[in-house]
Amino acid sequence: MHKCNRTMKIIIPICYYFLLLLLSGCLVSETIEYKLILNDDGKSGKVTVVMRNVQSDESDPDKQEKDFKELISNWKSDKYLIEQVEKGFYVKERKLYLEKGKLVWKETSLFADIRKLIPEYTSDNTTRISLGDTTGLQITTNGKIIAEDDSTVIVWKPGTKVFEFKTTARNFTSTSKFAKRFQQYSKRSK
């Protein structure tokens, strides 16, 4: 795989999983929304990730095309589903669609153990997720945002069952025109 020029580095297990495993090409998006809901057992649940305005971060048109094809493959292929099961996630739903002229990826996965996403999680303690350097990002959450030396941390109270946060790039520029490519792909596929 070619080297990525990632502009948004969010360093937590849940983000790592979805940015690197879910869409393993060199993809970025203007907004990323996460919603994790625990079941009554406090261990299993589901996680939904929505990436709005999905783009390649590559400037080379050939590499952009490779990223687009990989995105389509992740959307359509059984191989992708099997890879996620091997990692402990059952993909219940995955969608790739246009919304207000922007390409959107939405995926909902079931998991058996929240500690695959948040290794330090225990229901009777505060849950803390470090987002790393969030320069250039606007963050909203149902938790509490705490700025630390070189990181932004989100904290949720003990017993929380729904964890939500959204990151939005303040100065995002669409460079790969994935929405237009997706329109063309959709017309050819009919």
Question: Which residues neighbour 89 within 8 Å (Cβ) at sequence distance 6 or greater?
Answer: 17, 109, 110, 111, 116
* Per-residue pLDDT at 115: 85
* CB-based burial, 4-22: b 16+ in 10 Å, e otherwise: beeebebebebbebbbeeb
Structure tokens at 185: 């792909």
* Per-residue pLDDT at 25: 56
Contact 105, 50 (CB under 8 A): yes
Please state, as a whole number, how many other Cβ atoms lie within 10 Å of the Cβ of residue 59: 10
178 vs 23 pLDDT, higher one = 178
pTM: 0.86
Cα distances from 36 to residues 5, 39, 75, 117, 158, in angstroms, run 28, 10, 21, 10, 15
> To the nearest whole number, what is the mean pLDDT of the chain?
85
* Per-residue pLDDT at 148: 87
pLDDT of 54 strictly over 50:
yes
Contact 71, 27 (CB under 8 A): yes
* Per-residue pLDDT at 108: 96
Give me the residue label for tokens 């359509």. 76
Question: Which residues neighbour 188 within 8 Å (Cβ) at sequence distance 6 or greater?
Answer: none
DSSP state of 23: S
Q: Give the pLDDT mean for 134-157.
A: 92
* Per-residue pLDDT at 5: 35
Indicate the pLDDT class of residue 165, thresholds 50, 70 and 90: very high
Indicate the pLDDT class of residue 173, thresholds 50, 70 and 90: confident
Percent of the chain with pLDDT over 70: 87
pLDDT of 129 strictly over 60:
yes
Terminal C-alpha separation, the chain: 30
